[in-house]
Each structure stands twice: as C-alpha cells, then as structure tokens.
Structure 1
Amino acid sequence: MYNVDMPPPSELPSSRALLRSTLIAAATAIVLLVTVVLPAEYGVDPTGVGRVLGLTEMGEIKMALAEEAAAAEAAETAAALAPAPAPAPPAEAVIAESSAPALRSDEASVTLAPGEGKEIKLAMREGASVDFQWLVDGGVVNSDTHADRPGLSYHGYMKGTAQASDEGVLVAAFDGMHGWFWRNRGASPVTVNLRTSGDYQELRHVN
C-alpha cells in the first residue's frame, strides 16, 4: 500500500466556493451558448455579438443550406411517389385548305369560212393568268386579243395579222371576259385550235 498524503481540511474548497465555481461555469456556458453557438449554428443572435463576430452570417448560411437540402429531398420524394403522366392523345392532323387558285385546262377549236370571224373568251378575275397556245390548220388568220366587262365593251391587249400561231401568258387587267378573236381573210376555210391552262372559271365560245 502506498501512503497518500491527504490535504488538510483547510486547503479543501468550501461548499460556497464549489457553488460559486459551478455558477461561474454555468454562466460561462450560457454566455457562450447565446453569443457563439446560437449565432454560429442557427443564425439566432439575441445579443448582436454574433453578428459583430461574423458568426450570425455563418449560422444563417448553414440554416439556408439545410432548408434547401430538405426542400430538394422533399421534391425528390414527391416526384418518386407521383403517378406517371398519362400519354398524351395523338394530335389530330389538321388539313389546311389550299389558298392556291383552282387551275383548269381546256382545248377548243373554231372553224372559219373565208371572211368569217369567231372568238373564244375566258371568265377571269383581275390579276389571274392563263398560259395559251393556238395553231391555225389550213392557213393564217388575223387575231385580236382583248377583254370586256359590264360598262366596258373593249380593252385591247394585242393584235396580229396573217398569223399561223401564237402563244404566251394572258394576265387579266380586271374581272371580266378575256380572250381571242380570229378572222379568216383567206380564200379557204381554216381551223384554229386553242389550248389554255391557268386560273379561269369558264371557257366560252362567243360566236
């Protein structure tokens, strides 16, 4: 056995001294809690000391990061539990009506005795165009490409003499009838064969 020297009772702390030390330690702990722990960990700064020391900002950042992490986790959980969206029904195909003009094509012919004249006209709207070609079988003719409408009996486009054929594009100057007049100045009958293709509503033999 080792002999241990016990301090005399006079050197031992009294009960009051122990209580005082305990109170000082508790007060120190409370001060540290209020001025350091709460600001640094939770952003709570009742005394304002934590903000001066920069601890409050650190605590606010920690709390913000914790809130963001919790929100992200909640969103992931909700997404995992949410039912899969139903497939969208197939969109119905919408067929737009074409705004292009309705084109048509025709072939027509007129037979002219010597000295006789006849014409063929097309019902056209202003700005509409028609590709045309005509050929004379058996001779030549004089031609007059022109138009008319109510209130206007004649609008000339072009004239020709002793022609065996012609072709081009006829563009309507207004809504009305547009076409060709042919006269046979020869001594024998001739036949004019006309082909048209384009934007018009009607082909009409006028004579």
Structure 2
Amino acid sequence: MQHTVSTKTLIKAGFAAIGVAIVALVTFILPAEYNVDPTGIGQALGLTSIAQASQSNGSATTAAGTGSDAFETITILVPAGKGVEYKFAMTKQSKMTYEWMTDGGELFYDLHGEPEGDTTGYFESYTIATNADVKGSFTAPFNGSHGWYWKNKTAKPVSIQLLVKGEYEVIGLKQ
C-alpha cells in the first residue's frame, strides 16, 4: 500500500515551516546575532547581551580595566529577599560604560561610590531606582570604590548579567 501526499498538504507544510522559521528568526536569531529585538523576548531571555558583547570585540569577556572596546560580562546572583553589593575601584574622572539586566523581575538598586580611605561610612548615591535592566555610563567623581547595591524583594533568586567596560579594577562582591 502506497501513500501519496497531496499538493495541498505539501503547501500547508511548507507554509508552516516558513512560519516557524520566521518566528525563530525574530525571537531568537535577530536578538542574539544582531541585537535587533522587535518583540522584546530576546532581552527577556538574555539574548541581546550576546550580540552586544560580540559586537564589542567578538568575545563575551575580556580582562578588566584594559580600556579596550570590549565589554566584560559578570554574572551576579541576588538571593530571594536579600541584597548584594558589587564594586569597582576607580580613580577620579575615570569612566565606565555599563549595562545590566535580570533574568527575572525588577530589583531595587543604588549605584553609589565610597571615597578612598574614608572610615566614616560615607557614600554618595548617583542613582536609586527599581528596574529589570539599565544601560548607561559613569564618570567617577572621586578616587574610591563605585558600584551597585541590588535588593531582591521577591521569593525567588534573581540573576544579573552585568556588562562593563572602561577604566576600573574589579573589587567584586562586597561582604
């Protein structure tokens, strides 16, 4: 018994395959390869950061503080109901370009700096807000440590992908 497929069935299957290919192109390939994200799904899945890192220098990570055009990618986990602080040592007037995004909801954050040698506990906040992703640049107003405090007010851990480039040395997580 031989079973033949009708032309109508082949045409339907062809259009279905084209539809699946278009959806894959728009939601996965364009955000990951070209940083084009018409649906916003690529950012939600973290795919746009792949394109941004590769467009910078063809790689996802580089040595910190090299001053090159490449972004360094850092992953930070903020436990449920907790806060973490991630810092960089910067000299006065040094510059940093940054972008960070979460794999979940919004986080409260405070971008701030602490002067070198200060023992009083003083710090200066530059931005305080609640967001799931932020992009910007920063010029250190003084020598010291500069970075973010993130607070996760949800019941699930949230992962942050932080992309940075500029003139700095990584201090890392501050305990």
Question: TM-score w.r.t. structure 2 length?
Answer: 0.56
Aligned residue type for 2:157? P
SS of the residue corresponding to residue 127 of structure 1 reads: coil
**Aligned equivalents of 1:202, 1:182: Cα separation in 2:** 17
- Is 1:159 the counterpart of 2:140 in the alignment? no
Specify which of 109, 123, 135 is matched with residue 89 of structure 2.
Answer: 123
Aligned residue type for 1:172? A
Alignment of 1:25-40 (within 5 A): none
- Is 1:193 the counterpart of 2:161 in the alignment? yes
**Aligned equivalents of 1:135, 1:107: Cα separation in 2:** 11
- Is 1:172 the counterpart of 2:144 in the alignment? no
Aligned residue type for 2:112? H
Q: 1:122-158: CA deviations, max 9, x gaps?
A: 1101001100000011221000000002226311101
Q: 1:76-122: CA deviations, max 9, x gaps?
A: xxxxxxxxxxxxxxxxxxxxxxxxx9515422121122211001111
Alignment of 1:71-90 (within 5 A): none
Alignment of 1:140-155 (within 5 A): 140-149=106-115, 150-151=117-118, 153-155=122-124
Question: Which residue is equivalent to 1:35?
Answer: none
| Greater C-alpha Rg | 1
Q: 1:19-72: CA deviations, max 9, x gaps?
A: xxxxxxxxxxxxxxxxxxxxxxxxxxxxxxxxxxxxxxxxxxxxxxxxxxxxxx
Shift, 1:201, TM fit: 2.5
* Identical-residue share of aligned pairs (%): 28
| Number of equivalences | 106
Question: Which residue is equivalent to 1:45?
Answer: none
**Aligned equivalents of 1:200, 1:117: Cα separation in 2:** 23
Alignment of 1:33-112 (within 5 A): 102-103=66-67, 105-112=71-78
Shift, 1:202, TM fit: 2.7
**Aligned equivalents of 1:118, 1:195: Cα separation in 2:** 17
Q: Decide whether aligned partners of structure 1 residues 167 and 203 sit closer, same or farther in structure 2, where only a CA change above 3 A counts.
A: farther
Question: Which residue is equivalent to 1:139?
Answer: 105
The answer for unaligned runs of 5 or more in structure 2 is 1-64
SS of the residue corresponding to residue 153 of structure 1 reads: coil
More divergent stretch after superposition (186-195 vs 172-181): 186-195
Question: TM-score w.r.t. structure 1 length?
Answer: 0.48
Alignment of 1:2-17 (within 5 A): none
Higher relative contact order (CA 8 A, sep 6+): 2
Shift, 1:203, TM fit: 4.0
